[in-house]
Amino acid sequence: MSIISIIFDKNLPATNGIEVVMESQISEKQYAWIWDHYYSLALNKLPISNAENLITAMNSWAINMTQNLKIPRETIKEQGLLTIGMTPAYHQMTEIELDVYIEVTAQADALPSIHVRLPNDITETQLEHSPIALANFFLGEDEHFYKELVLHIISMKKYYTEQLPFTDEASISSAPEFAFNMAMQFQIQLNSKTAPI
């Protein structure tokens, strides 16, 4: 089992007193699956106003990125588009910490199972910003993740519009599955269009 920790310093605002730590190596191919699960869980647990703020932030970034996917990655990076929201100002963490644990367990011939442990005293603002922090962490770890993330955010939006709302507990697991399958189908179609004849 691998663990990803999202760590908040209680003495600092949620927007900059935050750090993401991956305790052991996880395949980059699993990043989108992990993020989808955490995003859907956070949306379900948040008050509607906070969830809508998070959805707006992620959808705005994804829509903006769709217009820039064909330009070189370095240009995108120089324009600051590979960071969602404000760049966290990392600080030396104090002893007053609050940790979110994302447990990733490998499964034979299947995607890993994801289990999240949320602390009882996590604030609404911290929970709202934690999926953004996790996305930014994965964007920094994998230079190709931004393309995948765009597809998954758009797919999640489609799910919540046409299938179940994020307030439905069933969406916690079904929204990531929908997004994963939809993104995979899109990638297959894209590959077939670019394959040599």
For residue range 94-145, list pLDDT tens digits in order: 556 788 999 999 887 788 999 999 999 899 999 999 999 999 999 999 999 9
**Cβ pair 8, 106 in contact under 8 A:** no
Q: What interhelical angle do 145-162 and 31-45 show, nearest 10?
A: 40
Q: Is the pLDDT of residue 88 over 90?
A: no
Position with higher pLDDT, 43 vs 85: 43
**Cβ pair 102, 54 in contact under 8 A:** no
The 10s digit of each residue's pLDDT in 14-34 is: 666 788 999 888 999 999 999
For the chain, domain boundaries:
2-194
For residue 63, the tally of other CB atoms under 10 A from its CB is: 13
**Residue 115, helix vs strand vs coil:** strand
Q: Is the pLDDT of residue 12 over 80?
A: no
Give Cβ neighbours of residue 125 (< 8 Å, ≥ 6 apart).
13, 14, 50
The 10s digit of each residue's pLDDT in 139-195 is: 999 999 999 999 999 999 999 999 999 999 999 999 999 999 998 888 777 666 554
DSSP H or E run through 48: helix 48-66
Q: How far apart are CA 144 and CA 152, in angstroms?
A: 13
